[in-house]
Amino acid sequence: MASENLYGKLETDVEIKASANKFHDIFKHRPHHISNVSTDKIQGCDIHEGEWGTVGSVIHWNYFHDGKPRVAKEIVEAVDDEKNLITFRVIEGDLMEHFKSFKLTIQANPKTEGEGCVVHWTLEFEKHHGEIIDPHTLLQFVADVSKDLESHLAEA
């Protein structure tokens, strides 16, 4: 019997008009402001341990995905200001019902020409079993949140 591959990775790029620094900054220092901008998707974001933007800090999210209110508790696993990169690992919440592990990496890369940046999202996960579908709707969700932030950050 062939063993099922329970590990997966999904990636997407989202072009936005805001700078890479501004996009990185809101996820690093002000993720609690995202709920003010993307109100239909993110209901709240609170810090549980540590300080905003520091590795090891724990953040609690309330969000609305696939027609249901959901929660996630994430630990900041990596921050690289030079690369405008931040990695969150989910440690509690709705995603843990389907996944043994779930990690989100956000990297904002300045465009080579013109203003704005390309936000590269990577979702890495291990499923509990093979019946669980890949989280494509969550990938679309984070892309949509990026677009919501675009107008807010472009004006800022």
The token duo for 7 is: 């590990």
Position of tokens 């590990």?
7
CATH architecture group of domain 7-155: 2-Layer Sandwich (3.30)
* Domain boundaries of the chain, sorted by first residue: 7-155
**pLDDT band at residue 2 using 50, 70 and 90 as cut-offs:** very low
CA distances to 63, 67, 87, 118, 138 from 94, rounded to whole Å, are: 10, 13, 19, 28, 12
Rounded to 5 degrees, φ, ψ at 4 are -75, 140
Q: By CB neighbour count within 10 A (0-12 exposed, 13-18 middle, 19+ buried), where does 93 fall?
A: middle
Q: Which of 8, 12, 33 is nearest to 107 (CA)?
A: 12
The token duo for 102 is: 């779930």
- Is residue 86 within 8 Å of residue 78, measured between CB atoms? yes
Instruction: For residue range 119-155, list pLDDT tens digits in order.
Output: 999 999 999 999 999 999 999 999 999 999 998 887 6
C-alpha–C-alpha distance, residues 106 and 68, integer Å: 24
Instruction: For residue range 6-59, list pLDDT tens digits in order.
Output: 999 999 999 999 999 999 999 999 999 999 999 999 999 999 999 999 999 999
Q: Which of 96, 118, 116, 91 is nearest to 107 (CA)?
A: 118
Q: Is the pTM of this model over 0.75?
A: yes
> Does an H or E element contain 151, and which?
helix 136-155
- The stretches of 90-135 forming alpha helices (DSSP H) are none
Q: DSSP code of 82?
A: T
